[in-house]
Structure 1
Amino acid sequence: MSSGLTDVLHVLIQWQCTPNQALAILKLDPDQPFPAVFNEEQCERVTFVLNIHSGLSTLFDDPEDVYGYMSSPHDDPYYEGKSPLELITTGDLTVFERVCWHIDAMRVL
């Protein structure tokens, strides 16, 4: 297993993802969750997870906030009372991308 995938799995565990959520987020086949080669979309998803984690680490000093942000519901109009984790677990790459952009935008404010 590559170090990038190991890092992503560590982040997903810290976000309190279930195994099924992790599979959906990374678009992995439950029958073969660790393919020898990731396709382009799976690589993009790995990058999004790492970028989100990096952005949250920049925004927050407290590890509870860094890791808890993704599993906590937010009143922000973008999240509509849902957690970012709930949104990205849908598997929709566009939603995943928007969550990533939203967190990047928070760093600028």
Structure 2
Amino acid sequence: MSTSLTEVLNVLVQWQCTPNQALAIIKLDPDQPFPEVLSEEQCERVNFVLNIHTSLGTAFDDTEEIYGYMSSPHEDPYYEGKSPLELISSGDLTVFERVCWHIDAMRVL
């Protein structure tokens, strides 16, 4: 298993992500959740998780906010009362990318 996949799985645990959500977020096969080599799309998803984690660390000082943001529902019109984790767990790469951009934009506020 790659180091970046291990790091991402640790981040997902901190986000209070369920195993099924983690599989959907990274697009892992439930029968082989720890591939030796990640596909291009899986690598992109790993990068999104790491970028979101970095952006949250920049946007917030409090550890609870950094790790709790992803599992908390937000009234922001973009989230429509859902949590970012719920949105990215849909498996839709476009939604994942948009959540990443939205959170990245929080760093400059």
**TM-score (norm. length: structure 1):** 0.98
SS of structure 2 residue aligned to 1:104:
helix
SS of structure 1 residue aligned to 2:30:
coil
Q: State the Cα distance separating 1:2 from its structure 2 match.
A: 1.9
Aligned to 2:90: 90
Give the percent of matched residue pairs that are identical in Structure 1 and Structure 2.
Answer: 82
Q: Check conservation: 2:2, 2:36, Cα contact below 8 A.
A: no
Q: Check conservation: 2:56, 2:103, Cα contact below 8 A.
A: yes
Q: Deviations over 1:63-89 (max 9, x none)?
A: 100000000000000000000000000
Partner letter of residue 76 of structure 2?
Answer: D
SS of structure 2 residue aligned to 1:108:
coil
Q: State the Cα distance separating 1:108 from its structure 2 match.
A: 1.5
Structure 1 outlier segments of 4+, above 2 Å: none
Q: Structure 1 regions of 5+ residues with no counterpart?
A: none
Aligned to 1:81: 81
Q: State the Cα distance separating 1:5 from its structure 2 match.
A: 1.1
CA–CA distance in structure 1, aligned partners of residues 28 and 104 of structure 2: 25
The number of residues matched between the two structures is 109
CA–CA distance in structure 2, aligned partners of residues 28 and 3 of structure 1: 16
Q: Structure 2 regions of 5+ residues with no counterpart?
A: none
**What aligned pairs does 1:1-109 form with structure 2 within 5 A after superposition?**
1-109=1-109
Partner letter of residue 47 of structure 2?
Answer: T
**TM-score (norm. length: structure 2):** 0.98
